[in-house]
Structure 1
Amino acid sequence: MNTYETINDILVHLFNEIWELEEKAIISEEFKDITNNDMHIIEAIGLGAGDTMSSIAKKLNVTAGTLTTSMNRLVRQNYAIRQRSTEDRRVVMITLTEKGERAYRHHAKFHEQMTDAVIQSLESEELPVLLKTLNGLAKFFRNYND
């Protein structure tokens, strides 16, 4: 394989492997009642004061309607709660429960381990090249329009 084919092969397989490994790593016995997708919704909600459905949907690049089904399940399974804003009753804030916060931290730990594995394999002068490469890849995905 030439360099181009090798990079393409690595990227294609890496995305699939990350998705599969992440699912195995983060959907533990404690969190077996949710999906990998649910875990990413929990990540988008984040810790702290919470966020609105539309803000969470925007972070995930989905519609609020698409998010509603998953959010209903997360609320039913005690990972998240909905609360109306005291300032504007039309606004519904989503926050994580204690169980949701544990899931968030569990997921964050996997990401931390993944990032550490990459950084530890590099010399300090190689980090800027990796950052430039990953930023270029991220820019491609953010701007891709079929």
Structure 2
Amino acid sequence: MDTFEVLNNLLVKLFNDILDVEEKAIITDEFKDISVTDMHIIEAVGTEEPRTMTAISKTLGVTMGTLTIGMNALVKKGYIIRTRNPKDRRIVFATLTPKGVSAYKHHAAFHKDMIDSVMDSLNEEEAAVLTKSLNKLEDFFGQWK
């Protein structure tokens, strides 16, 4: 196989494996009532200051309607609380509940383990080359947004 075929096969397999493994790793007995998509909404809300629905939809690259559907489910399941800005009721903030923070930390631990497993086998030069290559790949994907 030539380099093109190897890279193509590797990237396609990695993409599919990441989705599959992430689902298995983060959707445990404790978090069986949410999907990977839900977990990414939780991640976008984050644990810092409350975030507006507009900011979250931009982070995720989804429409406000799509986000609202996901948020409604997460509010109902007890992962997120939504509040309106008292000065401008059109602005809605989202904040994680303690259950949401727990899910966020669980998801972050999966990502840390994933990166640690890659970095453990690379020296600084190899890590720099991998980072540069992945940034170029991200730039390519960014052209399609």
TM superposition score category, shorter chain reference: over 0.9
Aligned amino acid, residue 64 of structure 1: M
Deviates more, 1:44-53 or 1:14-23: 44-53
Amino acid across the alignment from 2:82: R
Partner of 1:2: 2
Instruction: Give deviations 1:1-58, integer Å, cap 9, x for gaps.
Output: 1111001000000000000000000001000000010000000110122211111011
Q: Give 1:86 deviation, angstroms.
A: 2.9
Q: Which runs of 5+ in 1 are unaligned?
A: none
Q: Aligned partners of 1:120 and 1:142: how far apart in 2? A: 28
Judge which range, 10-19 or 136-145, deviates more: 136-145
Q: How far off its partner does 1:84 sit?
A: 1.1
Aligned to 1:94: 94
TM-score, length basis structure 2: 0.97
Counterparts of 1:52-131 in structure 2, within 5 Å, are 52-131=52-131
Distance 1:70 1:126 in 2: 39
Query: Structure 2 stretches of 5 or more lacking a match?
Result: none
Shift of 1:137: 0.6
- Residue of structure 1 in register with 2:30 after alignment: 30
Q: Provide the residue aligned with 1:20 in structure 2.
A: 20
Q: 2-side partners of 1:49 and 1:86: how far apart?
A: 16
| Cα shift at 1:104 | 0.3
> 1:16 aligns to what SS in structure 2?
helix
Identity %: 54
Distance 2:9 2:74 in 1: 36
Q: Deviations over 1:49-91 (max 9, x none)?
A: 2211111011110000111111000000000000111332221
